Homo-oligomer: A and B are copies of this chain.
Amino acid sequence: MRAGIVGGGRGAFIGRVHRMAAELDGQALIVAGSLSSSPQIAAESAREWCLERSYDSYVEMARAEASMSDGIDFVIVATPNNLHYPVAKAFLERGIPVVCDKPLAHTFDDAEALVDLVSRTGLVFALTHTYTGYPMVREARERVVHGQIGEIRKVLVEYHQDWLMHPLEQMGNKQAAWRTDPILAGASGCVGDIGTHAANLLEFITGRRILQLCADLSTHVSGRRLDDDAQMLLRLEGGGKGVLSCSQVACGDENELSIRIYGSSAGLEWHQHEANSLWFKGAGKSWQRLRTAGDEISTDGAAASRLPSGHPEGYLEAFANIYRAAIDDIRRCARDEPLQRQYPTVEDGLRGMRFIARAVESSQQGGQWLTL
């Protein structure tokens, strides 16, 4: 399958990750791209990646690829948040499926428009909430679905980083600059960038939606224009409670994503830094360390592994699992078969946008409870 990419040129982190993940299973090859808004960087980046076709703009790229007989089969959107919607729109309107970075869009209105567009076109649209691709995250969901933990009572989900603990955006760091700029990132910094991953992970594993939240957002670094830390109380569908904490100023925490779920008959615990283990804590029993590809793993959990038990798998492989499912659906779509949507969808993206908006609003009201 031939893929194209918008964004992700030199200096970007996530572009290369998209490439490796998309190509890992030998099912897709990126052949075309509009890798930067700067034509020169775009061209140079394309050369480094050995792309067959490089474009100066995504508009041109969408038009050209759609008209070729061997044009791209799907496009990857890896731009700053403000461009997610226009880029996705340009390709969808020309019949090209989209794999898009999160959050879904820059504003809630854009997000709703995108949901409409995807629905109208019937095309595949996958959102790269990468963390749902980890084998043990899949396993956790399987265990919840099959009633192994009983009724969900309490969930603690956290996503802590520290890379923004200093005002990097005032020191020429491009990644920091757009992520802390309301024009490019949207209404929120930390909640939009990583809190939304945490919320998605919670809903993905538990299958319970967040009904209400009470949020306290902070901007700890002086001069910063968006939040860099947030903590929230959550109330879940079905009566469970939750806590969500996210931070980009949590000194010493590289990229600590974790979730702990307490049910009426068992608990589950997963930490990204030990991604190949899932702790299962049955009532009155010892903790069990479930392992990727181990003998006790469900079909669904095992399918997400590429290696035998004991060979560490990581972030790229999780990312590639999102791609694998999207590519499968793109094939199904081409054969007019029903889609299976084993990846985060445009609707998940819309929920994420609503989550961001409500969190910001709750905090602005001094920490009031709001309904999602």
Contacts and interface: CB of A to CB of B under 8 A. Distances in A.
Interface string A299-310: 000000011111
A95 interface: no
A291 B310 CA distance: 20
Given A154-B229, A229-B241, A283-B252, A264 B315 contact: no
Interface stretch (A33-41, A76-84, A118-126, A255-263): A255-263
Contact of A306 (B16, B254, B296, B309): B16
One complex includes copies of this chain to the number of: 4
A26 B28 CA distance: 12
Interface stretch (A98-106, A181-189, A198-206, A213-221): A213-221
A281 B316 CA distance: 27
A313 B311 contact: no
Contacts of A273: 276, 310, 312
A321 interface: no
Contacts of A296: 285-286
Contacts of A367: 214, 233, 369
Contact of A280 (B161, B266, B286): B286
B294 A290 contact: no
A247 B317 contact: no
Contacts of A249: 153-154, 262
B275 A312 contact: yes
